[in-house]
Amino acid sequence: MDMMLQGRVAAITGPAKGMGASVTRAFAEEGCLLALLARDTGAVEPLAAELRRDGRECLILPVDLTRSEECERAAERMLSAFGQIDILVNVAGGSGPVGKSGVETDPAEFDEIVALNMGGPFNMIRAVLPAMMARRYGKIVNVGGTFGMRGRAGRLGYSASKWGLRGLTKSFALEAGPYNVNVNCVAPGMVDGPRFRDKVCAEMAQRLGITPEEAAARHAADYALGRITTDRDVAQACVFLASDVSRQITGVDLPVDGGWAAL
């Protein structure tokens, strides 16, 4: 399907690794002009070089998403370079404390993950939304997580930050809707990759005395479709919600988890 994104300007945070790289490639394949925002710009250079070899236009911008003034400067530079910002995809985020109860979680740890997972998207949306509203066009996609839909023991900071991101998404959707700006949230479940295989599965395997492959199969069995989500699954959902194909969808939480959070 033609997602009608050719020539659109897409800003992507956290574009360098894993899910972020897949999201970036997916928008490049649709013909978007790309603004890649990251604190560590050196980590983005290899991907940008790859895309440029394929004829894609990429602008790399340094930004600490927890600092509102840096997000505003990044938005100004995008507007200067491209003249408009059509799409913002907030991929960047962190995991926060893992395996700690709420009582065991240090307040500084909690504040840090909330500042990144909630504050980062807030700062970027706040920076780009005025230009979108002025043009009466824009698509904003926040990448949340299913632990922000069902909660998770031992992941209080992360879960709370992703629950908050859902509220942020819905409030911005209501405020931006009259200006023809859609704001949605994609909620990945467990995503296959090095972290899932080398950490999540390895820890389960050690705890239960099974192989990592058996641990992965146990995770897959929790989902209605019986398989683990891939980076590409998440990327395609982001492309869908950033396109005019989904023009009448705003304020939604879209689980991309094979059937876990919503079932």
Asked if residue 177 and residue 56 are part of one domain, the reply reads yes
Q: Tell me what pLDDT residue 152 has.
A: 78
Q: How far is CA 5 from CA 43, 120, 142, in A?
A: 26, 25, 18
**Closest residue by Cα to residue 128 from 186, 185, 172:** 172
Return left, alpha or beta for 45; rule: phi > 0 is left, psi -120 to 50 is alpha, else beta.
alpha
Same-domain status, 208 and 238: no
Are the C-beta atoms of residues 258 and 14 closer than 8 Å to each other?
Answer: no
Q: Is residue 238 part of a domain?
A: yes
Could you tell me if 35 and 156 lie in one domain?
Answer: yes
**Is there a single domain that holds both residue 207 and residue 243?**
no
158 part of the active site: yes
- CB distance 161 to 118 below 8 Å: yes
Does any domain span residue 22?
yes
> Does 50 lie in the same domain as 140?
yes
Residues with pLDDT less than 50, the chain: none
Q: Are residues 144 and 213 in the same domain?
A: no
Structurally, how many domains does the chain consist of?
2
pLDDT for residue 1: 63
CATH code assigned at 120: 3.40.50.720
Domain that holds residue 207: 192-228
- In this structure, is residue 21 part of a structural domain? yes
